[in-house]
Amino acid sequence: MDTALLIWNRVVSWTGIFRKLISDRDPKFTSALWTNLHQLFGTKLSFSTAYHPQADGLAGRMIQTLEDMARRFCAYGLEFKDCDGFIHDWCTLLPELEMAGKTSIHSSTNQTPDILEKGWNPKLPLDYLRKDLVEIHLTAASFKEMLEKARKHEVRCMEDSFAYAKNKWDKSHATPDFKVGDLVLVCTTNFNNIKGCKKLKDSFSGPFVIKSLHGENAVEVELSEELSNKNTTFPVRLIKPYKSSDAEKLYLLLRHLVLKRLPKFLKKEN
C-alpha cells in the first residue's frame, strides 16, 4: 500500500494514469493489490524477464545520467556567499541542476525532457536576464551572479557526465562483425543445466557455429546436445569470437553441413 500511495502522490498526480508500466518482478509489483489497482485504471503491467536488464533500458540510462550529474555536482561542490553573508551550497542549488537537466537536449531523442513531457520549454532566468540596467539592488545583483555561476557549473557537470558515459560505452560495446558460419563461444552465466559444480564451470562454452543473424544484436547458433533444451538465439553481448586452427574450423563447418542435410536425406530414404 505504501508503494501505491508513493506512486500516486509523487508520479500520477503529475503525469496522470499510465497506459503501460514497466517494472521488475519485485513482490510489491506482483502483489494482488498492485495488479488489481492497475486493472481498475486500465494500466497494462509489463514485467521484465530474468537476466534482461535492458527491458527498461531507456529509464535505466536516464537514472544513471542523473546519478552521475548529481555525484559530480556534489563532489565538485559549488559554494556561493551572497551579499548578506548566507552561503548557498550544492544542496540549496539542486533545483538549478534539475532545471538544467530538463532543458538540455539529449542525444537519444534530440529533444529536451520538458519538450517531451510538456510540449514546450519553460523560460529560463538567464535567457531573459536584462544586462542594460544601470542601477540594480545589491541583493538582486548577488542573486544574478549566483544563478550564472550555478548554471555554468551545472552545464560543466552534464558535459562531463555525457562524455564519461560515451567513453565507457565505446570501450566495452564495439559491435563485432559476425557472419554465418563463424565459430563463437557462448557465455554460460545463465546456464543452470550444465553438469558439475556451477562455481567451477567454464565462463564460456563452445565453439558453436553461427546459423543465422538476427539484426546486429542477436545471432542463432547450433548448440550441442547437452544444451539442446536452451534457446539457440543469443544477444551479441553473450557471445565472443572463437580463435581456432584452420583444421578445426573446417571440421566444425563440415559437421554443421552434415547435420543440416541429414534429416532431408533420411526423409528421402524413407
DSSP 146-212: HHHHHHHHHHHHHHHHHHHHHHHHHHH-------TT-EEEEE-TT----SS-GGGS-SEEEEEEEEE
Domain boundary among 172, 198, 218: 172
Cell of 29: 509489483
Domain holding 263, by residue range, is 183-269
pLDDT at 168: 73
Query: Does residue 178 form part of some domain?
Result: no
pLDDT at 52: 57
Lowest mean pLDDT among 25-29, 90-94, 189-193, 246-250: 246-250
> Which of residues 264 and 144 earns the better pLDDT score?
144
Please indicate, yes or no, whether residues 165 and 192 belong to a single structural domain of this protein: no
CB 100 within 8 A of CB 92: no
Beta-carbon contacts of 198 under 8 Å, excluding residues fewer than 6 positions away, are: 192
pLDDT at 181: 84
Please indicate, yes or no, whether residues 249 and 141 belong to a single structural domain of this protein: no
- 159-186 burial code (b ≥16 CB/10 A, e <16): eebbeeeeeeeeeeeeeeebeeebbbbb
Query: Does residue 249 form part of some domain?
Result: yes
Query: Does residue 215 form part of some domain?
Result: yes
User: How many domains, in total, are found in the chain?
Assistant: 3
Domain boundary among 172, 200, 228: 172
pLDDT tens per residue, range 94-103: 777 777 778 7
pLDDT tens per residue, range 173-225: 666 678 888 888 888 877 765 666 666 566 787 788 888 888 777 888 888 77
Please indicate, yes or no, whether residues 259 and 159 belong to a single structural domain of this protein: no
Tell me the pTM. Answer: 0.41
Please indicate, yes or no, whether residues 77 and 143 belong to a single structural domain of this protein: yes
